[in-house]
Structure 1
Amino acid sequence: MEKKQIVSIEDRIPKLKQARKKKANRRLIFYLTIFFILISIIVYLQSPLSNVKKITVTGNTSVKTKEVIKQSKLTDSTNIWTINKTKVKNNIKENPVVQSVDVDRKLPWTVEIQIKEYERVGYIKKEGYYHPILGNGTTVTSNQKSSNGDAPLIIGFSEGAYLDKMTDELQKLPESILNLISEIHWKPTDENKNKISLYMNDGFMVDGTIRNFAEKMQVYPSIVSQLDSDSKGIIHIGVGAYFESFDKNPDEGETEDSTER
């Protein structure tokens, strides 16, 4: 039989002591590492190293970036960990142009603010400048010299109540139809204060009313698609929708060019 090697206790004691010492050293290094990490975190949190150094703003077109940052009340002395996102959002949403806000921290010291503004549904011209009208009815003071063509020019609305009603209807329109409108003129009469006339980018005119305008305007693309490409005239979207040609002879009454839809 093979003899087992017997190790005396005297030989094993130094090895046991060495193993215990290594284990103790590893444990000490682990605790020291945790300690220094905690100290570093505390120093970081309590020092200017954790203050906001960069604020980015996206999604804004009507309101300036500097204005958004000012309204947020965030500064380079704000600790990034003490930011109350809800409070920052509410501060910015006090601006009537802003529909919604998202605020995110990006470590180590950046704050990202994403703005969603109310859609521009029109412009009014005052003293040579074009002022955007937003979907919530707010008119933004601007120094624009043109309307940019991204929303119709709204003309002649001398009474705010009717302008608000018109704005509300424009907000309901699909963007594809809104982009077809060049100008909207308020044409009130004693019988109908809601009467309006539209000039379209495709050369047609529209005779209609503010009341239920968005709903009635839905038929416009369908009517235009059924007309000859050379036809130009007025599309009526009142009680009934029909087309009246500019070439119509006034003495003829209803002609083939005036087709009820």
Structure 2
Amino acid sequence: MKKKNVVSIEDRIPKLKQARKKKANRRLIFYLSIFFILISIIVYLQSPLSHIKQIEVKGNAFLKEDEVIALSELSTRTNIWAIDRTGIGETIKKNPVVDQVEVVRKLPWTVEIHLKEHDLIGYIEQKGVYHPVLENGEKLTTINASVVGDAPLMSNFNDAGFLTKMAKELQQLPDSILHLISEVSWQPTEKNKYKIILYMNDGYTVNGTIRGFSEKMKAYPSIVSQLNPQEKGIIHIGVGSYFEKTNESNKEEAEQDDS
């Protein structure tokens, strides 16, 4: 029969004390690490290390970068963790040029402002200078532009309300049709305040109205495809659509008489 090894309590006490000491040391190191991490975070947040060092603006075509940054109220003294991205976006969107905004935090020190501006829909002439017109009817009078054929000229729109209505109608047109329009002229009469005359790049003139214009104008390619390319005249897109062949002498008269 084998004799069992018996360990006395006196022999176990030193090992228990050593184990407890190691456990206490590990706990102390853990708490000290948490303490120093918290202190480091506080020091970081209160120091220039957490300040924005670079602000980038992307997607802007009409607004200058400095204008967007000024609207955001961000600076190199702003804590990158303290920025209200939603609030900044809402503030920038108050500018009528801006359609959508996204503010992105890029660690460690960069903030990016992504813009989607309202689309260019036309140009308007004022005192010999052309200014862009956006899809919401906003005239960018601080920008002098060159008409390059990417959008029609909008003439005689001296009423902001009708300009806005026309811009919204143009915005709903397919690009393939919009790019066919050279000029849109507002020609209100006593009977029809919404009357417009369009001069097309393919040589036709369109007599129409702002009301429901985008829907009626979608039929333009189909109408033109049925006409003799050698015959130019006025395409009427009012209650019904029809073509009126004219020559240069009576063309202006026909445009003025139709309401």
Distance in 2 separating the partners of 1:29 and 1:236: 86
**2:235 equivalent in structure 1:** 235
Identify if the C-alpha distance between structure 1 residues 218 and 15 changes in structure 2 by more than 3 Å, giving closer, same or farther: same
Amino acid at match of 1:41: I
| CA shift digits 1:49-80 (9 cap, x unpaired) | 11122212222211111101011111111222
Write the distance in 2 (CA, Å) between the matches of 1:139 and 1:241: 32
Instruction: State how far apart, in whole Å, the 1-side matches of 2:225 and 2:2 are.
Output: 104
1:98 aligned onto 2:98:
yes
CA contact (8 A) 1:129 1:142 kept: no
Q: Which moved more, 1:60-69 or 1:167-176?
A: 167-176
Letter in 1 for 2:9: I
Q: Which residue of 2 aligns with 1:208?
A: 208
Letter in 2 for 1:173: L
CA separation of 1:160/1:143 partners in 2, compared to 1, >3 Å: closer, same or farther?
closer
Q: Report what 2:156 is aligned to.
A: 156
- Name the counterpart of 1:35: 35
Determine helix, strand or coil for the equivalent of 1:96.
coil
Q: List per-residue Cα deviations over 1:210-250 (Å, max 9, x = no partner).
A: 22212211222333455577775543211211344578xx9
Residue 36 of structure 1 deviates from its aligned partner by 0.7
Question: Which structure 2 segments of 5+ residues have no match?
Answer: 251-259
In 2, Cα distance between the equivalents of 1:41 and 1:95? 37
**Amino acid paired to 1:182:** S
- How far the C-alpha of 1:106 sits from its partner, in A, is 2.9
Q: Which runs of 5+ in 1 are unaligned?
A: 251-261
Alignment of 1:122-161 (within 5 A): 122-161=122-161
Going from structure 1 to structure 2, the CA distance change for 1:42 and 1:160 (only over 3 Å counts) comes to closer
Is contact 1:233–1:246 with CA below 8 Å preserved after alignment? yes
C-alpha separation in 2, matches of 1:103 and 1:70: 14
CA distance in 2, matches of 1:83, 1:69: 13
Give 2:57's aligned residue: 57
**Aligned residue for 1:116?**
116
Instruction: Give the drift of 1:12.
Output: 2.9
Q: CA distance change for structure 1 residues 41 and 85 in 2, over 3 Å: closer, same or farther?
A: same
1:68-103: CA deviations, max 9, x gaps? 101111111122233233442343233221233222
Structure 1 counterpart of 2:65, one-letter code: T
Partner of 1:223: helix, strand, or coil? helix
One-letter identity of the residue aligned with 1:81: W
Instruction: State whether residues 129 and 143 of structure 1, in contact with CA within 8 Å, keep that contact through their aligned partners in structure 2.
Output: no
In 1: Cα distance, 2:27 partner to 2:204 partner: 84
Question: In structure 1, what is the equivalent of residue 257 of structure 2?
Answer: none
Write out aligned runs for 1:178-217 (5 A): 178-217=178-217
CA distance in 1, matches of 2:204, 2:13: 103
Distance in 1 separating the partners of 2:114 and 2:158: 36
Contact kept, 8 Å, 1:151 with 1:182, in 2: the verdict is: yes
Identify the residue that residue 76 of structure 1 maps to in structure 2. Answer: 76
CA distance in 1, matches of 2:8, 2:32: 37
Q: Check whether the contact 1:182–1:200 (CA below 8 A) recurs between aligned residues.
A: yes
Q: Number of matched residues?
A: 249
Q: Who is 1:254 aligned against?
A: none
Per the normalisation by structure 2, the TM-score is: 0.81
C-alpha RMSD of the superposition: 2.9
Q: Distance in 1 between matches of 2:231 and 2:8?
A: 113
| Match of residue 169 from structure 1 | 169
SS in 2 for 1:81: coil
- 1:23 is matched with 23
* 1:20-59 deviation per Cα after TM superposition (whole angstroms, max 9, x unaligned): 2222221111111111110011111111111122212222
* Inter-partner Cα distance in structure 1 for 2:65 and 2:225: 43
Q: Structure 1 vs Structure 2: percent identity of aligned residues?
A: 63
